[in-house]
Amino acid sequence: MLDKVTDINDLQKRARRRVPRMFYDYADSGSWSEGTYRDNTDAFSRIKLRQRVAVDIDNRSVRTQMIGQDVSMPVALAPVGMTGMQHPDGEIAAARAAEKFGVPFTLSTMSVCSIETVAQATTKPFWFQLYVMRDREFAEALINRAKAAKCSALVLTLDLQILAQRHKDIKNGLSAPPKPTLANILNLAFKPQWCFGMLGTTNRSFGNVVGHAKGVSDMSSLSEWTHEQFDPTLNWESIAWIKKRWDGPLILKGINDVEDARIAADIGADAIIVSNHGGRQLDGAAASIDMLAPIVDAVGDRIEVHFDSGIRSGQDIFKAIALGAKSTYIGRAFIYGLGAAGEAGVTKALDILHKELDLTMALCGETDIANVGHHNLLNPPSTARKTLQAKSATKRKTPAKPKATAARPTSRKQTSAKSRAS
Ligand SMILES: Cc1cc2nc3c(=O)[nH]c(=O)nc-3n(C[C@H](O)[C@H](O)[C@H](O)COP(=O)(O)O)c2cc1C
């Protein structure tokens, strides 16, 4: 059924056909004009790679580590709210696909399946993403639940203290379960597989919240709670409070500015994710890939730098790694796979990205992802150019060794983060 699927675009087309419009649009949208959403992907296409030939490219590896944990490629599944509305029990399907593929799955606070439900359905630790709520007791309880479920990293999202406006969600009357408007009922009539699947599961609301947060026992109290609860007072001091309670690997998500990256590194997190929330928060913000090199330049020797926003192919992953990211996350790329075909669709998305990454690396003349760096880019960032010039000047002064191969810059500046037990 997925034989004819050759890229993430194909999965997106299938997801559009299978997922109710309200939930498909929820994924395929950015805030306001969607300018930053579009720019996230456009910016990748402006980056050009150096094609290298006549290099032995047999025996390649894209295996690496994220915060000291082994991964089969530099990719994790990003936290995505309401994943279980793209496909019945979507969080379980995605977590299982990630587990089998050997990459981390990150469960959103705003997931449909709860932390405990996903833990029961999987065998390896997954990561948990925390939105800090005004109700700090609830936030603390979430942290404790993630610990009890043996989550091996906490991803703390910093770029959603308040929700930006996404026009499509308002127009569609987005809610879980869908509002029974005439337009939505008509739309559901054309999505029979999704409807039957939903009838077969009890996971249809926000599993981490309903029955856990004060005063939220059903869907109607939930929507009011959600809007009131995102904490606009969240600040750098709050992070120290969370760090103390979590006491495990901590990743700060939503850094898109050099100054913020410096503060994040000072706080002593294990990694940051350079991200603009996939263009869903500040419309007009820079494409995250354009912010990656300056951020790596500023803090890459002190903290592990991860990246998301706009990845739709293995070439995009390669470019992010070449610009200094230790690893990447995918949001829509796996969500489209999930909407298209559940667990098999997520596996297909991961397969596609793995293959594209491996082939791109080979055609750039590299065999190990650890050696990919600025030298693989046709127009490396200006900071990198200085480093490369300095390196080649030193090389020229050094007497040539017998049988030396052509000088190639060493791997990127980024050092791997201190390993911590997972
Ligand atoms: C439908 C959707 C829901 C999301 N929900 C969350 C969330 O609950 N928590 C979070 O930290 N990020 C959330 N994000 C942002 C993703 O984690 C990630 O930053 C983004 O999807 C990366 O961009 P990409 O989709 O272009 O890969 C969401 C993204 C999408 C598309």
- Tallying the residues shown for the chain, one arrives at 422
Q: Is 157 helix (H, G, I), strand (E, B) or coil?
A: strand
Q: pLDDT by residue (tens digit) across 127-141?
A: 999 999 999 999 999
Tokens of 145: 């639940």
Beta bridge partners of 307: 274, 328
What integer is the mean pLDDT of 373-384?
88
Q: Is the CB of 331 under 6 A from ligand 1?
A: yes
Contact 142, 208 (CB under 8 A): yes
- Index of the ligand 1 atom closest to the CA of residue 277: 19
Tokens of 364: 């750039």
Q: What is the CATH number of the domain that holds 118?
A: 3.20.20.70
Question: Which segments of 69-176 are extended strands (E)?
Answer: 69-71, 75-77, 106-107, 127-130, 154-157
Residue 219: what pLDDT? 59
Q: Is the CB of 41 under 6 A from ligand 1?
A: no
Is residue 402 in some structural domain?
no
Beta bridge partners of 106: 127
Beta bridge partners of 255: 274
Q: Give the integer Cα–Cα distance in Å for 125 and 118.
A: 10
- The angle that helices 332-363 and 314-322 make with each other, rounded to 10 degrees, is 70
Q: Which of 41, 129, 132, 277 to mutate to test the pocket of ligand 1 (most atoms within 8 A of CB)?
A: 277
Is residue 223 in some structural domain?
yes
| Annotated binding-site residue? 134 | no
Q: Tokens 């936030």 — which residue?
A: 139
Query: Please, what is the end-to-end C-alpha distance for the chain in angstroms?
Result: 37
Residue 389: what pLDDT? 52
Is residue 297 in some structural domain?
yes
Is residue 301 in some structural domain?
yes
Is residue 286 in some structural domain?
yes
Is residue 385 in some structural domain?
no
Tokens of 397: 């002064």
- Greater confidence, 413 or 14? 14
Q: Give the integer Cα–Cα distance in Å for 292 and 255.
A: 10
Is residue 411 in some structural domain?
no
| Annotated binding-site residue? 226 | no
Q: Is the CB of 159 under 6 A from ligand 1?
A: no
Closest CA to 107 of 82, 132, 124: 82
304-307 β-sheet, strand order: 75-77, 327-330, 304-307, 271-274, 250-255, 154-157, 127-130, 106-107
| Annotated binding-site residue? 275 | yes
Tokens of 186: 């008509």
Largest CA distance in the chain: 78
Contact 6, 352 (CB under 8 A): yes
Domain containing residue 299: 8-363
Residue 418: what pLDDT? 35
Q: Give the integer Cα–Cα distance in Å for 385 and 112.
A: 46
Judge residue 99's burial from the number of C-beta atoms within 10 Å of its C-beta, 0-12 exposed, 13-18 middle, 19 or more buried.
Answer: middle
Judge residue 33's burial from the number of C-beta atoms within 10 Å of its C-beta, 0-12 exposed, 13-18 middle, 19 or more buried.
Answer: exposed
The predicted model scores a pTM of 0.91
- Cα distances from 241 to residues 159, 212, 245, 261, 408, in angstroms, run 18, 21, 7, 19, 45
Whether residue 404 has pLDDT greater than 60: no
What integer is the mean pLDDT of 316-320?
98
Q: Give the integer Cα–Cα distance in Å for 18 and 256.
A: 34
- Greater confidence, 223 or 154? 154
Q: What percent of the chain has pLDDT over 70?
A: 89
Contact 238, 218 (CB under 8 A): no
Sort residue 103 into left (φ over 0), alpha (ψ -120 to 50) or beta: beta
Whether residue 402 has pLDDT greater than 50: no
Of 109-118, 325-334, 380-389, least confident by mean pLDDT is: 380-389
Q: Give the integer Cα–Cα distance in Å for 315 and 335.
A: 19
Q: Give the integer Cα–Cα distance in Å for 41 and 108.
A: 23
Residue 226: what pLDDT? 75
Domain count, the chain: 1
Q: Which of 80, 108, 282 to mutate to test the pocket of ligand 1 (most atoms within 8 A of CB)?
A: 80
How far apart are the CA of 92 and the centre of ligand 1, in A?
17
Q: Is the CB of 26 under 6 A from ligand 1?
A: yes
Whether residue 408 has pLDDT greater than 50: no
Minimal-distance CA residue to ligand 1 atom 6: 80
Confidence of residue 173 (pLDDT cuts 50, 70, 90): confident
Q: Give the integer Cα–Cα distance in Å for 254 and 163.
A: 14
How far apart are the CA of 78 and the centre of ligand 1, in A?
6
Q: Give the integer Cα–Cα distance in Å for 51 and 36.
A: 29
Beta strand pairing call for 327-330 and 75-77? parallel
Which residues are known to be catalytic? Answer: 277
- Index of the ligand 1 atom closest to the CA of residue 79: 17
Q: Can you spell out the DSSP letters for 328-339?
A: EEESHHHHHHHH
Is residue 408 in some structural domain?
no
